[in-house]
Amino acid sequence: MIAVIDTNHLLRLAAAYQRSPLFAAWQDRRFVLAMSRPLLAEFEDVLPRKKTQQGGFALLP
């Protein structure tokens, strides 16, 4: 299965990865995360904002 996840949900997933059923499903390879250029641009725009930096998570390349 291929899934596209909204930026807000993706940020929540990253912030709560150890407790997230969605993260567990992705980790178990039950779906592949698909990104579009506009979604990636939105994600890059949202990440540096102070509010997201307080979430205590970081995405690694």
- pLDDT at position 51 is 59
- pLDDT at position 54 is 54
24/26 Cα distance (integer angstroms): 5
- pLDDT at position 30 is 93
Domain residue ranges of the chain, discontinuous segments joined by +: 2-53
pTM of the model: 0.56
pLDDT string in tens for the chain (61-residue length): 888 888 888 777 777 767 788 888 888 999 898 888 998 888 888 877 755 555 555 544 4
- Helix/strand/coil (H, E, C) string of 2-48? EECCCHHHHHHHHHCHHHCHHHHHHHCCCCEECCCHHHHHHHHHHCC
